[in-house]
Amino acid sequence: MYIIITGHDGKEGLKLVGDELTTIFSYLGNEIKGVIWGERVWQKGEVTSTKAMNEAYQAGVNA
């Protein structure tokens, strides 16, 4: 699985959330293939113009 995290902070501010979710989902038996970071987004629709959207699309295509 891929974990997708979005938030107003950059990756450094969101890293703790990524670490915690990775740990939780790993303990539940999931294989974590990666974390996709939607950084510096706050309002609805802002993420659509970020590299995170392309990374998520590519992850789905390559799954």
Structural domains in the chain (count) = 1
What is the tens place of the pLDDT at every residue in 17-59? 999 999 999 999 999 999 999 999 999 989 998 999 999 999 9
Residue with tokens 């309002």: 43
Q: Which of 8, 62, 61, 63 minimizes the C-alpha distance to 37?
A: 8
- Kindly indicate the confidence band of residue 10, based on its pLDDT and cuts at 50, 70 and 90: confident
pTM score, whole prediction:
0.85
State residue 63's pLDDT score.
76
State residue 49's pLDDT score.
84
Distances (CA, A) of 37 to 8, 29: 11, 22
Measured from the Cβ of residue 48, the count of other Cβ atoms closer than 10 Å reads 10
Please state, in angstroms and rounded to a whole number, the distance separating the CA atoms of residues 10 and 38: 8
Please state, in angstroms and rounded to a whole number, the distance separating the CA atoms of residues 29 and 13: 26
Domain span holding position 19: 2-61
